[in-house]
Structure formats: C-alpha cells, structure tokens
Amino acid sequence: MAQKEEAAAAAAPAAPAAPASQNGEGDLDDLENPEKLKELIELPPFEIIKGERLPVNFFKFQFRNVEYSSGRNKTFLCYVVEVQSKGDQVQASRGYLEDEHAAAHAEEAFFNTILPAFDPALRYSVTWYVSSSPCVACADRIVKTLGKTKNLRLLILVGRLFMWEEPEIQAALRKLKEAGCRLRIMKPQDFEYVWQNFVEQEEGESKAFEPWEDIQENFLYYEEKLADILK
C-alpha cells in the first residue's frame, strides 16, 4: 500500500526549506493549514541538491523501507561511479542527489549533471542506492541511456517500490530489466553501507548503524513484490 501514499505525496506541493519539514515529517501538517497551503503553492520548484553526505535525519526518514511512505515526497539517490580505462586503471567517485518531485527527478538529474556524456573508450560501472524505485519517466530515461551506451553497467538498489501495484510501473520495471539494468531491493547490509559511506557523521566519531525494528521484514516484503513483477 506504499504506492498510494507515495502517489499522493508526489502530487502535493513542495514544502518550504524550513528545518522542520526538510526531511518530510512536517509536510502533511502544513497542508492542513490554508495559509501554509497558499504559501506552498506559491513557492518555486525546488532545485536538485548535490553533495557527498546527507544529513542523518534525512537518511533515517527518507530511506526507511516502510510499507506506508506518507510524507516521503523526495527521492534520494546515492551513487558510486567507477570508470575503467583500457589500461585497467579505475577512477571512482561518489555522492548523492535529492529532488522534490517538482523539477527533474534525481535519476534524470544524475545523467544530466553527474554523467552527462560517456567516453566510448572507457567502461562505466554505476551503482545507485535510491530511497524508492524509479517512476515511469525516469525508467524510460534509464532504458534509453542504457540502449545507446553499451559501455555502461548499472545496478539500482532501492529501499522501497514506488506505486508498485500500478500496471505502468510494473511494465517500466520490466523494461529496466530487459535493458540490462540490475534492479534489487536494499538488504539491511545495504542500508548499513549507505549509513557508513553517504551519511554525515560527527567529526572524529563514527556511530554504528542501528537497524529499525522491521527492516528485515520490510525487505522481504518488497523483495517478494519485485520478484513477482520481474518474473
């Protein structure tokens, strides 16, 4: 039932950049206030935000693999890019993108800003850790990019499935698989990897990842749904 909540959140106006609503927790309360709603409607679209590490509260709220995803109206995409030359030298880079579903989505922004062009003499291995799976438009962009870029390998790990009961979403996910994209649900170990490599830590201190209570149960739930869709 996550899909219905996410659809409503995606259609809602973007929240103002106030500390209480940056992680999505205050968005729904704002919509109940007529004055706040007017304010939100008049705001311009949010821009794509790029960085190396995302705030702890963003990760804990946006990446949590809940079945009901109310208020999570952003997409967070953490990426690892490895570029291999003919001499087998590998250059690696990493970072994250976030969107507000009001402008370009994070998946499209990745190809527009992080990898806008591909050198045919190089091999690209890209891994995404995304808070939720791609929408139809983003899946289409990924398919087209893979189709014309034979030296690109893409692995997408998602925390949740976006609107997974919708036939057009299911078809889009199958097209991703057919195009050679590897798509799977994030395991608890993957969330820990994101925590260690993409989440802000206190200076001089690295806190251990603390799994939420239903992390394994929700992983198995989404893994079963994805397997049914892709079979």
**H-state helical runs in 84-198:** 106-109, 136-148, 167-178, 188-198
Strand bridging mode 152-160 / 123-132: parallel
Query: Structure tokens of 23?
Result: 């992680």
The active-site residue out of 5, 98, 100, 107 is: 107
Query: Structure tokens of 33?
Result: 């206030």
**107 assigned to active site:** yes
In what side-by-side order are the strands of the sheet with 182-185? 49-51, 90-98, 76-84, 123-132, 152-160, 182-185
Q: What are the residues facing 63 on neighbouring strands?
A: none
**Would you please indicate which residues are annotated as catalytic (active-site) residues?**
107
